[in-house]
Each structure stands twice: as C-alpha cells, then as structure tokens.
C-alpha cells in the first residue's frame, strides 16, 4: 500500500495500490479512478471504465506522463508510473476501485522537491600537518548515507581518495597515500553533507579533488592549496561573551555582481563559518556551533569587503579563520587568527584582517 513517497523533480515514481479481487475477476468488470486532490479539486490521473482506459478524462497536466500496468490489475494491483516529475505534482493521490462486487479506495501522499545539486567552494587552503575539510553539501539536502559518494584526485593513480558505498568506506582501489587519513561525516550524510576530511595534510596532498554523486549525476571540483606553516597570519585577541566583526578586503570590478561571488570562511579549515554560493548564503553548510551567531553585511560585498559579525564569543572560537573568495574572474584568500580569552582583551589589526568593535 502506498502511503507516502518523496521524489526529485524530473525523476519517475511508481504509485502502487492493492485491492481485493476474486480469481475469476475480469479486467473488463473493473472501474478505477485515480486522481490528485488539490485544494479540494479532483485532478484526474487515470480512469479505467469496464476495462477500458479513457485518456480524454485525464487532466492535461498528466498527458503523456502516466503509464499503467494492466497485467498488475489481474493480480489485484493498481500500478501507475508517473514520469518527468514536477514540483506541482506534489499532493494527495487517491484511487477508487469498483470490482463489480465491492468497492474500496486508497491514498498516497507525494512530495516532489527541486533537483538536488552539489554546492562546494572552488578552493581550500590548508597548512601542512593540520587536518582539512573539503566541504560539499547537497542542496536541496537529501539522504546520501546508503548511496555512492566518490572523492577522487585525477592527478594520482589510482585516483580514488575516498569511496563511500552502502553506508561504509570501500578500501579497495583507494590510493595508498590516503589510507587511514580520510573520512566522510557519516552522521551528516543523511542531511546531504558529503564533505571529505583529510587528516595530517601533506604537501603532496595539494591539487584538484573531485566529488562525484553518481545517483544524481552531480560532481564538483575543489582545489586544495597546502602551505608549510611559515606564514604569519594577522592576529586578534578578544574577550569571551563579547562580539567581534571580522573584515577582509578583496579585489573587485565596478560591475561585479554579488550573484557572481563564491565565498567560504572557515575556522581551522574544519568548521564552516560562512558560505556564499552564487550570491546565496547556504546556511545548511554552516557548522552548528556558529548557528545564530554570524551576521553578514551584504552591502559591504558590493564594496569589495567581507564583513562578518561573530557574537557571544566563546573560548573555543579561538583559532585560524580563513576566507576564500572567487569573484568569477579571479580567486584569493586571506586569514586571521583569533584568540578568545576569559579575562583580558587585546586587539591587533592589519590591512588584511580588521577587528571592529
């Protein structure tokens, strides 16, 4: 019995209901009406009368998209395939059956979401010896736990960095240099988080990584840049429970549109603070520890500035903050080290990372 179905736009679903039939029941005796109940209006999906399908009674929105299985009718089943799903196909579907000696009906709620796509930054910066997360999120979020998630690095052979299938890591064919150094966030896969974590980053890890989700035909690439740790990033020190505003500047052209920007700001290359993709803030990717504590200034983006206010500071907010920007015609990144103390307050600012009170 069909109770509820979730599906994606442009995919197909099969609606199936059972009804009581006798061994000698003939299809020619059946009367079946299946329809979608939308705002108390009946939109006909399928109509069979005395064993004959009446396509002229079918609503035009379903024209050419419904296929019935007449063999299933002989087994007491109504089986209808609805193809090329649209979001407006969402709703309550009902099927009424008259076998000639009895009547019955059943229902099924269908929810069609927009096509999920992969959202990832174009570049990540890491320091040798640290751990790094290559963040990728399915938007709309769908459960990826039992599906295939493949991370590869085309420049190495074998090129498999991490292969997740049927709820586990498949070790076969994984490049030996990544053995015991990679993981996906298994508890987050159900939310569509397909990010990859690499432990103890090496200089040889630098390069392009590709995340592939075969079951939705999606893939994206991230360039990982690895530094040797000799850089001296700008530093700010602040007091617990206070607020800070981190500000970075980036090169922009007068006609640059916010919708062209991709920005990823993270803490220690592990916890996502802020993610903007094609001008849209993707809050699902933000780490839960920052939830409700980060406020961005979109007006500043038009002036070539990233300005983020982090409120209600905690000591665990201490660390290296990195912001990477892709303007569509160029890429860059900057960093800022923040130390949060419970007692003292000391500010250090520079041209790269400003701290505004």
Kindly report the CATH number assigned to the domain that includes residue 42.
2.60.40.10
- Are 180 and 82 in the same domain? no
Helix count and strand count (H, E) for the chain:
3, 30
Is the overall model pTM greater than 0.95, yes or no? no
- Are 200 and 248 in the same domain? no
- Domain total in the chain: 3
- Are 249 and 158 in the same domain? no
Strand partners, 336: 234, 321
Residue whose C-alpha is closest to residue 248's, from 274, 286, 217, 222: 274
- Are 38 and 20 in the same domain? yes
- Are 137 and 207 in the same domain? yes
- Are 130 and 81 in the same domain? no
Q: How far is it, in rounded angstroms, from Cα 25 to Cα 45?
A: 24
- Are 101 and 124 in the same domain? no
Domain that holds residue 87: 4-113
Q: How far is it, in rounded angstroms, from Cα 114 to Cα 91?
A: 15
- Looking at 227, 247, 279, the residue that finishes a domain is 227
- Are 73 and 19 in the same domain? yes
One-character DSSP codes across 130-167:
S-EEE--EEES----TTS-EEEE-TTSSS-EEEEEETT
- Looking at 227, 244, 277, the residue that finishes a domain is 227
pLDDT of residue 2: 65
- Looking at 173, 204, 227, the residue that finishes a domain is 227
Give me the half-sphere count of Cα atoms (radius 13 Å) on the Cβ side of residue 79. 9
Cα-Cα-Cα-Cα dihedral sign, residues 293, 270, 222, 166: negative
Q: How far is it, in rounded angstroms, from Cα 178 to Cα 199?
A: 9
- Are 12 and 106 in the same domain? yes
Mean per-residue pLDDT pooled into runs of 10, the chain (357 residues): 77 88 79 86 91 90 92 89 90 90 86 78 84 84 76 96 91 94 90 91 94 87 80 59 85 78 86 89 88 90 88 87 83 79 47 44
């Amino acid at each position: 019995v069909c109770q509820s179905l979730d599906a994606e736009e442009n995919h197909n679903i099969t609606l199936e209901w059972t009804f009581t039939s006798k061994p000698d029941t003939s299809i020619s005796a059946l009367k079946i009406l299946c329809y979608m109940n939308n705002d108390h209006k009946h939109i006909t999906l399928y109509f069979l009368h005395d064993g004959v399908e009446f396509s002229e009674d079918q609503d035009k929105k379903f024209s050419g998209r419904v296929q019935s299985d007449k063999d299933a009718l002989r087994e007491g089943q109504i089986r209808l395939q609805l193809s090329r799903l649209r979001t407006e196909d969402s709703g309550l579907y009902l099927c009424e059956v008259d076998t000639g000696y009895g009547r019955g009906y059943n229902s099924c709620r269908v929810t069609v979401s927009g096509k999920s796509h992969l959202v990832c930054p174009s570049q990540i910066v890491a320091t040798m010896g640290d751990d790094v997360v290559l963040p990728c999120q399915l938007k709309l979020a769908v459960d990826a736990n039992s599906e295939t998630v493949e991370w590869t690095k085309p420049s190495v052979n074998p090129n498999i960095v991490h292969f997740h299938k049927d709820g586990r890591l498949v070790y076969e064919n994984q490049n030996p240099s990544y053995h015991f150094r990679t993981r996906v966030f298994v508890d987050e896969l159900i939310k569509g988080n397909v990010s990859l974590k690499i432990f103890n980053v090496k200089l040889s890890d630098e390069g392009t990584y590709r995340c592939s989700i075969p079951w939705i035909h999606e893939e994206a690439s991230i360039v990982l840049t690895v530094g040797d740790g000799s850089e001296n990033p700008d530093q700010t020190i602040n007091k617990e429970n206070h607020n800070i505003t981190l500000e970075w500047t980036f090169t922009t052209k007068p006609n640059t549109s916010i919708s062209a920007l991709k920005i990823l700001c993270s803490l220690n290359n592990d916890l996502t603070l802020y993610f903007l993709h094609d001008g849209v803030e993707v809050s699902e990717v933000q780490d839960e520890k920052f939830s409700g504590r980060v406020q961005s200034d979109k007006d500043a983006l038009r002036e070539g500035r990233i300005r983020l206010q982090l409120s209600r500071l905690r000591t665990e907010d201490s660390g290296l903050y990195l912001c990477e920007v892709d303007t569509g015609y160029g890429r860059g990144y900057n960093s800022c080290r923040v130390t949060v103390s419970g007692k003292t307050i000391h500010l250090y600012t520079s041209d790269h990372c400003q701290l505004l009170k």
